[in-house]
Structure 1
Amino acid sequence: MFLRIDHIGIACNDLEEKIALFSGLFDLTVVAREVNEEQGVKEAMLHIADGAGGASYIQLLEPLSADSPVGKFLAKRGEGVHHVAFGVPDVAGAMEQIGAKGVRLLDERPRHGSMGSSIAFLHPKDVGGMLTELVQSARPEQM
């Protein structure tokens, strides 16, 4: 079902500061920046590497407001890993398959994600306490 770890989402208070940290420490390159009003974040995707299943990234997330999901996460837990995202060939199919196993889906249907992808989230209580994202890449080479 999973092609790769698509990205690790990291919640941060200052996007520019964290971009400088990760690009400076690990020589990562920012390949995309977006403001996602629906999710209430400013984000940057930093390329890690390309593998057999496609590329992997670090996704840095700064909340647009304190009452956004990432804003609430930061208030409760502070900066750090927010979620793990797995690349799948068909996000709707993966949702159906995983939902049939009793895992609660936080999304009823796929929605817009970073870099044109389709995404859906799984309830962390059903996945060992980890917020899990399913990502169907918009990049044909990663499907």
Structure 2
Amino acid sequence: MRKIEHLGIAVKDLEHSNDLFRRLLGTAHYKTETVEREGVSTSFFMIGETKIELLEATNSESAIGKFIEKRGE
């Protein structure tokens, strides 16, 4: 494996997680978006060449909502 291009992390509270990751990583997120058809809101951080995507369910029936319910944050 040469590099990790993208990591996705399911979170319960995107605003809280954005603040936490900003403090931990020392950088702010560079992009946010809501994808209604997927039932998710996301934000992206960049560390070197790796994107870290935080994903919060906007619908409990979405894939992220079900993941959080089954496995937790």
TM-score w.r.t. the length of structure 1 is 0.48
Q: What is the Cα deviation at residue 4 of structure 1?
A: 3.4
Which of 58, 65, 70 pairs up with 2:64?
70
CA distance in 1, matches of 2:32, 2:3: 22
Q: What is the Cα deviation at residue 28 of structure 1?
A: 2.6
Aligned-residue Cα RMSD (Å) equals 1.4
Matches within 5 A, 1:1-143: 4-49=3-48, 55-79=49-73
CA distance in 1, matches of 2:59, 2:17: 18
CA distance in 2, matches of 1:42, 1:3: 29
Q: What is the Cα deviation at residue 66 of structure 1?
A: 0.6
Which ranges of structure 2 fall in alignment gaps of 5 or more residues? Answer: none
Question: Deviating runs (4+, > 2 A) in structure 1?
Answer: none
Q: 1:3 and 1:37, CA in 2 relative to 1: closer, same or farther beyond 3 A?
A: farther
Which ranges of structure 1 fall in alignment gaps of 5 or more residues? Answer: 50-54, 80-143
Q: Which has the higher helix share?
A: 2
Computing the radius of gyration over CA atoms, which structure comes out larger, 1 or 2?
A: 1
Q: How many residue pairs are counted as aligned between the two chains? A: 73
Q: What is the Cα deviation at residue 3 of structure 1?
A: 6.5
TM-score w.r.t. the length of structure 2 is 0.90
Q: Which has the higher contact order (CA 8 A, sep 6+)?
A: 2
What is the identity percentage for the equivalent residue pairs of Structure 1 and Structure 2? 38
